[in-house]
């Protein structure tokens, strides 16, 4: 699917490009969508979230919610919420798995990650592990639609071109989320993020939300 996208020359994407500045109406509508959408999402998915919380607590040691520092709008770090899908000491085991990394660039992805719990495999496959980020959206740290937020250790290795994804709020979903996810390599992922930064508008946001709902439960590319 990526080959069908027409990306502009990277030289055209400058970090001080004023063309990415959008009008006030768009930002007001976007924030209203974020507030309304996250509230509705929390109401609708609250029974599922409660069941998942009970299962996580009953089947493995550690907290129900996993907190992780991520880099958001204009490089500001924030605490991202996720349902814990790995064993409690997962971060301490990461270095020993780095030679098995399946993702290009500064990111780490491993299809058969031994740190993932049985419940974790399910909530990752269905993207349920991301639902607590609805609270990040309510707080204004994230948006329903926007580039997925990266870890600080990943962002410090970004080029100036790649850092342009930080010029908008990170999101729960974006092009990457609905176009293959882990089957997309890092460079194409960044191109999709910057494509969104350049072209974003209310219609695109609504389309991406609807596409995300379509693939939410059982995306074959999720892991």
pLDDT level of residue 38 (50, 70, 90 thresholds) = very high
The mean of the pLDDT values for the chain is: 84
Quick one: pLDDT at residue 219? 53
pLDDT level of residue 9 (50, 70, 90 thresholds) = very low
For 116-154, the pLDDT digits (tens) are 899 999 998 888 999 999 999 999 999 999 999 999 999
Quick one: pLDDT at residue 114? 83
Helix (H) or strand (E) holding 137: helix 133-138
Query: By percentage, how much of the chain surpasses pLDDT 90?
Result: 59
Quick one: pLDDT at residue 122? 92
- pTM across the whole model: 0.82
Check residues 1 and 160 and name the one with the higher pLDDT. Answer: 160
Distances (CA, A) of 163 to 15, 116, 146, 169: 8, 30, 14, 12
């Amino acid at each position: 699917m990526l080959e069908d996208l027409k990306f502009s020359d990277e030289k055209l994407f400058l970090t001080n490009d004023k063309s990415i500045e959008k009008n006030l109406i768009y930002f007001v509508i976007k924030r209203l969508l974020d507030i309304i959408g996250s509230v509705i999402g929390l109401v609708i998915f609250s029974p599922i979230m409660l069941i998942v919380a009970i299962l996580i607590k009953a089947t493995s040691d550690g907290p129900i919610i996993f907190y992780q520092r991520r880099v958001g709008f204009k490089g500001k770090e924030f605490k991202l919420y996720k349902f814990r899908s790995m064993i409690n000491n997962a971060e301490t085991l990461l270095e020993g798995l780095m030679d098995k990394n399946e993702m290009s660039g500064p990111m780490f992805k491993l299809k058969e990650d031994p740190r993932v719990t049985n419940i974790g495999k399910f909530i990752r496959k269905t993207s349920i592990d991301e639902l607590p980020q609805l609270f990040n959206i309510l707080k204004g740290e994230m948006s329903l639609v926007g580039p997925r937020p990266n870890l600080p250790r990943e962002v410090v290795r970004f080029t100036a071109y790649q850092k342009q994804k930080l010029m908008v709020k990170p999101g729960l979903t974006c092009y990457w989320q609905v176009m293959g996810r882990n089957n997309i390599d890092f460079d194409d992922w960044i191109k999709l993020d910057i494509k969104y930064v350049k072209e974003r508008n209310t219609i695109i946001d609504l389309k991406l939300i609807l596409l995300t709902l379509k693939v939410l439960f059982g995306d074959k590319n999720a892991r």
